[in-house]
Amino acid sequence: MRNSRRGQVDPFIVMDVMEAARRAEEGGRHIIHMEVGQPGTPAPQGAREALARVMEDEPLGYSVALGLPALRQRIARLYGEWYDVDLDPGRVIVTSGSSGAFVLAFTALFDAGDRVGIGEPGYPSYRQILRALDVEPVGIAAGADHRLQPVPGDLENLDLQGLMVASPANPSGTMLDRSALSALTDACAARDIAFISDEIYHGIEYEAKAVTALEITDDAYVINSFSKYFSMTGWRVGWMVVPDSHVRLIERLAQNLFICASHAGQVAALAAMECEAELQDNLAVYKANRALMLDGLRDAGFERFAPPDGAFYVYADVSDLTDDSRAFAAEILEKAGVAVTPGLDFDPHRGHGTIRFSYARSTGDIREGLARLKRFMQARR
């Protein structure tokens, strides 16, 4: 049967790594997972209990397209608690993970042929979702001197209709502070470029609190999710905050594209927002893991990386060790029994010389993984 050109997106390489790791495990090997970008913990207990109760009493049919009103209100309240921002719940749209929010945002904001800037390295699916919608992703090579985040100067010679940023970012874990973020929102406003801020790793910060674009401007699309801080990847619930005048536009798209986000997921997500103690315990594990990673990776011989401000990744420059990160990752899996992600997923141009290590798993796993990496590097010398 015929197929479309725009449907021909690249594979998500980390998924291929996960499959290779799974095959190794099937063959009896013990693998430490430093490739996976998700918490090893389940949804908070209060979330699971709330859903178990509601499941007995309610049919859990479609919710309204914009999401359960109670959840939209609770998310709006979170902006008061986290950032001291007074947010109208009417601007909050509950989505099928942040992935669903990207589809809604890109469809609402861009026409076929429009050009959207994305920082490289960056989350690979931005590029692929844009392509699938016939929108052109424009890679912006972000420099180590700006901690791998785009800066206004990068926009000067580009004809763009949109800019997508993430802070903390995947894969680097680096953040845009208030002045860096407002410099970008100002530059976009001056050029009529739609600004989209992926804030999915907010809540997982180590030194300073992450700044939301909503502290600076209402003229932005802000996207977040229950997948990371709230430890609910598989439940497929996220959200998006849009300017008041865009709510009805998004509502019409959401009704037709998704009907609604998972109703069961929304019930659990609402309860998860009251599980602060458990979520802070998870955060304490990431903090301990991060400290181990910073020392352990250097000790093993991976020295070229910026310490992450947030999220649970270290993005290391390994160009002194390889010019083929995919083969290097395969070698690490084969010889060290540690699964890591080649940088090509995040940066098609420079990613052949980089690797992403995730430290989202248990501290015991991180210790063991670092010991294996050290032995591997010693044997390689």
Three-class secondary structure of residue 175 per DSSP: coil
Side-chain-facing half-sphere of 84: CA atoms under 13 Å = 2
Looking at 79, 106, 123, 376, which residue binds ligand PLP (CB under 6 A)?
123
What is the total count of residues that contact ligand PLP (CB under 6 A)? 13
Looking at 35, 198, 278, 347, which residue binds ligand PLP (CB under 6 A)?
198
Please check whether residue 195 is in contact with residue 184, taking contact to mean a CB–CB distance below 8 angstroms. yes
CA angle 198, 129, 108 (to 5 degrees): 70
Longest dimension (CA), the chain: 63
Long-range contacts of 131-139 (CB under 8 A, 24+ apart): 131/6, 131/9, 132/6, 132/7, 132/9, 133/6, 133/103, 133/106, 133/107, 134/6, 135/106, 135/110, 135/111, 135/162, 139/347, 139/348, 139/349
Q: Which amino acid is at 147?
A: R
Interface mask toward ligand PLP for 211-230; x: CB under 6 A = --------------x-x---
Please check whether residue 52 is in contact with residue 376, taking contact to mean a CB–CB distance below 8 angstroms. no
Please check whether residue 132 is in contact with residue 99, taking contact to mean a CB–CB distance below 8 angstroms. no
Please check whether residue 241 is in contact with residue 94, taking contact to mean a CB–CB distance below 8 angstroms. no
Nearest CB to ligand PLP, comparing residues 356 and 372: 356
97 near ligand PLP, rule: CB under 6 A: yes
In the range 330-349, which residues lie near ligand PLP by CB under 6 A? none
Least Å from the CB of residue 140 to ligand PLP = 16
Nearest position to ligand PLP, beta carbon: 97
Least Å from the CB of residue 268 to ligand PLP = 14
Nearest CB to ligand PLP, comparing residues 41 and 99: 99
Single out the segment in contact with ligand PLP by CB under 6 A; choices: 93-101, 261-269, 340-348, 349-357: 93-101
Nearest CB to ligand PLP, comparing residues 37 and 342: 37
CA distance 259 to 236: 14
Looking at 43, 79, 93, 98, which residue binds ligand PLP (CB under 6 A)?
98
CA distance 369 to 339: 9
Q: Which amino acid is at 169?
A: A
Looking at 41, 73, 99, 362, which residue binds ligand PLP (CB under 6 A)?
99
Least Å from the CB of residue 381 to ligand PLP = 33
In the range 133-172, which residues lie near ligand PLP by CB under 6 A? 166, 170
Interface mask toward ligand PLP for 170-189; x: CB under 6 A = x-------------------
CA distance 272 to 230: 7
Nearest CB to ligand PLP, comparing residues 233 and 322: 233
Buried b (16+ CB within 10 A) or exposed e, 349-378: ebbbbbbbbbbbbebebbebbbbbbbebbe
CA distance 285 to 361: 9
Single out the segment in contact with ligand PLP by CB under 6 A; choices: 85-93, 95-103, 185-193, 281-289: 95-103
Interface mask toward ligand PLP for 240-279; x: CB under 6 A = ----------------------------------------
Please check whether residue 182 is in contact with residue 155, taking contact to mean a CB–CB distance below 8 angstroms. no
Interface mask toward ligand PLP for 53-92; x: CB under 6 A = ----------------------------------------
Single out the segment in contact with ligand PLP by CB under 6 A; choices: 97-105, 128-136, 153-161, 337-345: 97-105
> Which residues make up the interface to ligand PLP (CB under 6 A)?
37, 97-99, 123, 166, 170, 198, 200, 225, 227, 233, 238
